[in-house]
Copies of this chain bind each other. A is one copy, B any other.
Amino acid sequence: METFIQPKILKGFRDFLPQDEILRSDLIEKLTKTFRSYGFVPIDTPVLEYTEILLRKSNGETEKQMFRFEDNGGRDVAMRFDLTVPFARFTAQHKEELYFPFKRYHISKVWRGEKPQVGRYREFVQCDFDTVGSDSAVSDFETLSLMKAALSAIGVDEIKIHVNHRGIFNRFLKKLGLSEKSEDILRAVDKIAKVGEEKVSAELEEITGNADSSAKIIDYIKPLSSFEETLSHIEELAGGEDEDSKRMKTIFSMMKAAGIEGTYMLDPAITRGLDYYTGIVYETFLEKLPSIGSVCSGGRYDNLAGLYMKEKLPGVGSSIGLDRLIAGLSELGITNAKGSYLDVEIFNTDENLNVQYQEVAAKLRKEGISVEVFPDTVKINKQYSVTDKKQIPWGIMLSSNSETANTITLKNLKTREIFESISIEDAASKIKD
């Protein structure tokens, strides 16, 4: 007796069936197109790297989550867990071949052995774009503008991008004499959307050791009614105008010049826990589904590749969480995936016409029409069930007595309208309309 091996995949990994993969491809293609239109270019790096390259930037959590092993040559290697560390290694390694400012996008899979749970996978796609080698407000704004444009390109217009500046916050904390506790404070503040003001306030009191400091921080992080008001407020609390607050004003002027200021709010509670960021930071929420968390986040850093080279490379970047976004779109009912990319199915009703079918298909393809011939001469209902699944708008039939393939029957598979005995040229123009 033959034995079969049970087909199965690893926990936390996923197969993508056509409908899901068509949706994902569609989103990636639209994002790609938008990244490109802003001057970003693609790069690629290996999935496997030396573990020491990947590990240096991370904490113990990352190390535990890595897919790490010894390869056949005895090398300590690991699968990348993000696209940032490989990008840092890449820029340091190729700095002589690149030009700066350098703007790259990278959309690819990364792996983390996290405990699988709803919406968390061990294999997932990151969509990153970064501008490195410039410290300018132009790049800050362009990044914010591209975040909006990219989400808009995939049909997500009802968003709010929360922006903040780590430098202003740090100056404020310094003024309060709390610089040394800033990491803890930033981490506490970052949780306010999740746990609420009361809990953050209590935690801040514990960190700072007094209720007054806690109240001042809570006052600082509350957004007022407009971007400009909030900016004046935090600028004042931090001790007046400086380079950082001037930059925020410039960025806001750029938003107005581009007519997109309504998408952004200044939110002093956004800190992005990582000590990596030094300038603006931002998170993006779906207005109708804020609960799923930020779908696009990032910030400005001052030293991308410091582990690999002496030169400091400042930059600003953002990352779109594609899986979370797809989950959100599907919850909002705004996913709209095709079943295939076909315009026409040529139905196979008579094996003797197989050559004629190909003649018709070839003529339609010359017109730029996407077409397939149903492979087997089987019952028409079986053929319809496939064209339904593939959501094909048009069908073509040849009558069995057609010596040549000059006239055909065209059927609109949605409306069921039928055009009999028309020429291939006429069919082509109907399909293209």
Query: Would A136 and B69 be within 8 Å (CB), given that A15-B45, A89-B7, A99-B389 are in contact?
Result: no
B-facing mask of A341-365, CB < 8 A → 1, else 0?
1100100100000111111011001
A362 in complex: contacting residue of B56, B71, B72, B260, CB < 8 Å: B260
Query: Would A44 and B16 be within 8 Å (CB), given that A7-B309, A257-B362, A372-B103 are in contact?
Result: yes
Contacts of A362 in B (CB 8 A): 145, 257-260
Q: Which of A20-39 contact B (CB under 8 A)?
A: 21-22, 24-25, 36-39
Nearest chain B residue, comparing its CB with the CB of A309:
B4
Question: Contact: A113 with B4, CB < 8 Å?
Answer: no
Distance, CA A250 to CA B5, complexed state (A): 38
Question: Contact: A18 with B37, CB < 8 Å?
Answer: no
Q: Which of A47-55, A215-223, A230-238, A272-280 contacts B (4 or more CB under 8 A)?
A: A47-55
A21 in complex: contacting residue of B44, B111, B310, B356, CB < 8 Å: B44
Contacts of A92 in B (CB 8 A): 7
Contacts of A36 in B (CB 8 A): 340-342, 370
Question: Contact: B48 with A67, CB < 8 Å?
Answer: yes
Shortest distance from the beta carbon of A32 to any chain B beta carbon, whole Å: 8
Distance, CA A373 to CA B149, complexed state (A): 16
Question: Contact: B138 with A376, CB < 8 Å?
Answer: yes
Contacts of A385 in B (CB 8 A): 99
Contacts of A25 in B (CB 8 A): 42
A194 within 8 A of B: no
Q: Chain B CB within 10 Å — which of A17, A123, A250 has the most?
A: A17
A4 in complex: contacting residue of B98, B307, B359, B373, CB < 8 Å: B307
B-facing mask of A262-297, CB < 8 A → 1, else 0?
000000000000000000000000000000000000
A109 within 8 A of B: yes
Shortest distance from the beta carbon of A340 to any chain B beta carbon, whole Å: 5
Query: Would A257 and B359 be within 8 Å (CB), given that A7-B53, A7-B93, A48-B13 are in contact?
Result: yes
Distance, CA A48 to CA B110, complexed state (A): 12
Contacts of A419 in B (CB 8 A): none
Pairs across A and B, CB under 8 Å, 16 listed: A5-B52, A8-B50, A15-B45, A21-B41, A37-B370, A38-B370, A39-B341, A41-B341, A47-B111, A48-B111, A48-B123, A99-B385, A101-B374, A138-B357, A253-B355, A258-B358
A407 within 8 A of B: no
